[in-house]
Amino acid sequence: MSATDFEALLRQALAPVEPPADLAQRLELTLVSLTELAHEELETWELRAMRDPRNWVRPAAAAVVGVSAGTALVVLRVRARHRVRKQRSNNLFELAQRTVQDAAEEARRILPHR
């Protein structure tokens, strides 16, 4: 095997692969459903059952899954609108401020209304 063959094989193996067009939408739907399922699980547990530590696993797991999926959903949605915020911002400070505001608004949308 010559060096040019090896380089051609490397180029072929390391060629960029485009993700499916609907990947972001599928990921967002999965994160939304995980967040909703975790919220439903947390709504159903009773405080009386929490006296026994053996009953803590399901609510703790639901809380971890809900927080993780919710955070990932906020990041995904805020990141999707980054280009628009960048074009509207005059400087880095304004961009950071708009990003924080966008993340806070998105988190308010995801959190259950109580």
pLDDT, tens digit, 9 for 90 and up, residues 12-67: 888 888 888 898 899 999 999 999 999 888 888 777 777 778 888 888 899 999 99
What the block records as the tokens of 91 is: 């400087």
Q: Angle CA(88)–CA(24)–CA(64) in degrees, nearest 5?
A: 100
Contact present, 66 and 39 (Cβ < 8 Å): yes
Mean pLDDT of 70-99: 89
pLDDT category of residue 114 using cuts at 50, 70 and 90? very low
The mean pLDDT value for 73-82 works out to: 90
pTM above 0.75, yes or no: no
